[in-house]
Structure formats: structure tokens, C-alpha cells
Amino acid sequence: MDKAWEFLAANPMAMVIAAGEIGFWVFILGGLVARYLLRWRRTGAVLLASTAVVDLGVLVATMIDLAGGGKASAVHGIAGVYLGFSVAFGPRLVRWADVRFAHRFAGGPPPVKPPKHGPERVRHEWREWGRCVLGCGIAAAVLLVLIFVVGTPEQTKPLWEATGWLPRLGLITVIWFVTGPLWQTLTPRSSSRAADTERVSS
């Protein structure tokens, strides 16, 4: 625990990212409580929409730190990646929490589980990979702005060199593609056999 606090103290941006993640879920929980328990529909909608403010705050803090002459580190890269994936997957996470909260506290329908096999599963994997591409694309755009607009290439070298975040984003996209939509697309028969086995066993 002491080492964790030392790391956060030495990396203020890490604290900003951690606070952003906490704030994201606080806004979601507050919005759902207001919507379904307190019946404050408008307040709930405002709180849920405020998750975007958290993303903006992380971006602004990162830009201010680099514009002030701060040396870029892996933590600044994480800020860009966090922003990209938050924008791409944030609305989905809000819907995921909303459906479960409504089912638990407001008599809403039960959550629909993702399909396990068949064409529906293939389409699901392609949609998820599309969100991954969107998240990586936004993260890459943010990193490029930090590299060439906010800072200087020398100052932000850890973000774009061979071991930096831009190459990692490409690697994430490829790995997700291979293990997700490509695998499901090329192995429909094995998935169908698994589905048949489940139906027989049940």
C-alpha cells in the first residue's frame, strides 16, 4: 500500500486517472439512484450524462501538465488510452448498469446475456471489435495531439517510440481481432457443435 501511495505521489497524472475512473462510476451510481430510487428522472439523466465531463477533465489535466513543460511518461499514454476507451465503451457500460439497476429496483426486464454461439455471436464479436477500433482510434488521435500540438516530439518521446502507446494500440487492435471476430468467424462449426452439446445436456 505504501508503494502505491508513493507511486501516486510521484505521478500526479496517475491520481487524475484514478480519480476520473472513480468519478465515472460515482456519476453512474448517482444517476441510477436518482432515476430509479428517488424518481428524479431529469437529475438522473444529467448525472449519467456527466460521465463525459470526467473524460474531458482527464484530457484537460493531461494537456495542462504537458503544456507546462512536464515530461511525458507511460502515465500520460494511459490517460489517452483511458479517454479513447471511455468514449467508445462508456455508453455501453452505462446501458449495462442501467438495465441491471432497473431490473433489480424498478421491475425492469432481466438483462439479455450475449449470445454464446452461432451467427449472433459472430456479429456480437464484430461489434465489440468495432468499439475497440473506435477506442484505439480516439486514443491515437489524442496521443498525436499531445505529441505534436501540446508538447514536442522530444518531450513526448515515450508516447510514440517503439515501446510507446501508439504501437501498443495497433497491437491491441490486432490481438482483439484475432481472438474475437476472426476466431468466431472461422470456427462456426465448432461453436455450433458446442451449442448442440449444451442443448442435449440440458
**Percent of the chain scoring above 90 in pLDDT:** 47
Mean pLDDT of 77-96: 91
Q: Are 173 and 134 in contact (CB under 8 A)?
A: no
Mean pLDDT of 8-34: 87
Q: Residue 189 — very low, low, confident or very high, per pLDDT cuts 50/70/90?
A: low
pTM, two decimal places: 0.82
The per-residue pLDDT for 46 is 94
Rg of the chain over all Cα atoms, to the nearest angstrom: 21
**Percent of the chain scoring above 70 in pLDDT:** 87
Mean confidence (pLDDT) of the chain: 85
What is the tens place of the pLDDT at every residue in 43-66? 999 999 999 899 889 989 888 888
H-only helix segments in 146-180: 157-160, 165-177
User: Does pLDDT of 2 surpass 70?
Assistant: no
Burial profile 22-46: b = 16 or more Cβ within 10 angstroms, e = fewer: ebbeebbebbbbbbbeeeeeeebee
- 3-state secondary structure at position 93: helix
Mean pLDDT of 163-190: 87
What is the tens place of the pLDDT at every residue in 102-142? 999 989 999 998 888 888 999 999 999 999 999 999 999 99
Higher pLDDT, 158 or 54: 54
User: Does pLDDT of 99 surpass 80?
Assistant: yes
Mean pLDDT of 19-30: 93
- 3-state secondary structure at position 39: coil
Q: Residue 201 — very low, low, confident or very high, per pLDDT cuts 50/70/90?
A: very low
Higher pLDDT, 171 or 151: 171
78: nearest Cα among 173, 153, 165: 165
